[in-house]
Amino acid sequence: MKNKFFTYLKISALLVGVIILFAFTNKRNEQRKINKVLVEFIEEQDPYINEITVNKLLIQNRNRVTSVGKEILVLNTVEKELDAHEMIEHSDVYLTVNGELRAKIKQRTPIARMDAVAPFYIDVTGNIMPLSDSYSAHVPIVSNVSEREISNVFPLLKKIQEDEFLKKHVVGVDLNADNDYELDLRVYTFKVVLGKVENLNSKIRNFKAFYQKALKDKSLDAYKKVSLQFSNQVVCTIK
């Protein structure tokens, strides 16, 4: 009986000790202040928003962030404020046990620049994105396309962004007087008349086949226009 009594006593003392230790640790965590703000940009992207700007968003009210107990900092609110920024696609804000406020930032990705009175980008989701003060994106320039026509041209812009060949060669997209889309190339001066944004895979496949053959024949400089409008055909106009 004595052994059982002492065993129960030890267990009880241990439980009390654990409870006291937990309460003490919890109290210290509540009193600990945020002492550092760290920003990390996930994925390799061009700097359309810089770390200084993100830091300003995080500590625009410094008392709120660095001089209050961690238990009353509403991280969801901070995330919403970051996500509302016009250059940020998504953010993840969290606190470490060392009292560091950390933010992981995923920027928006522009895939084209609209040539308008007030220029803007089209991002990878097809939405309007403002120009950045920090960096100018190397993306195709879209001309003669109104804001209401963005949804029409977006599949073409997405195709250019996803296809390495097109991404390397195409620097511009124009809507001509016949409402047909034309592609401007980085090196060669001939226009690629795509026509309507339909049957894109077939048209691009035909253009790649033509390009490789003409490159081999060293005849690319001889053309003024290359049309992909007609089914399974590439119609060329000589200079």
* pLDDT, tens digit (0-9, with 9 covering 90-100), for 85-128: 899 999 998 878 777 788 899 999 999 999 988 999 999 999 99
pLDDT digits (tens, 9 = 90+) for 162-209: 999 999 999 999 999 999 999 999 999 999 999 999 999 999 999 999
Assigned fold of 32-107: Ubiquitin-like (UB roll) (3.10.20)
Domain 110-238, second-level architecture = 3-Layer(aba) Sandwich (3.40)
Strands (E), 27-68: 36-41
Output the pLDDT for position 56.
78
- Report field, pTM of the whole predicted structure over 0.85: no
| CB-count exposure of residue 171 (10 Å: 0-12, 13-18, 19+) | middle
pLDDT at 73: 57
Dist. CA 218–CA 88, nearest whole Å: 45
Q: Tell me, what's the pLDDT at 2?
A: 46
Lowest-confidence range among 13-17, 78-82, 216-220?
A: 13-17
Query: Which has more confidence, 139 or 99?
Result: 139
State the angle between helix axes of 51-58 and 75-83 in degrees (0 to 180), rounded to the nearest 10.
Answer: 140
Predicted confidence at residue 218, as pLDDT, reads 92
The CATH 3.40.50.11690 portion of the chain extends over 110-238
Residues of CATH 3.10.20.310 domain(s) within the chain?
32-107
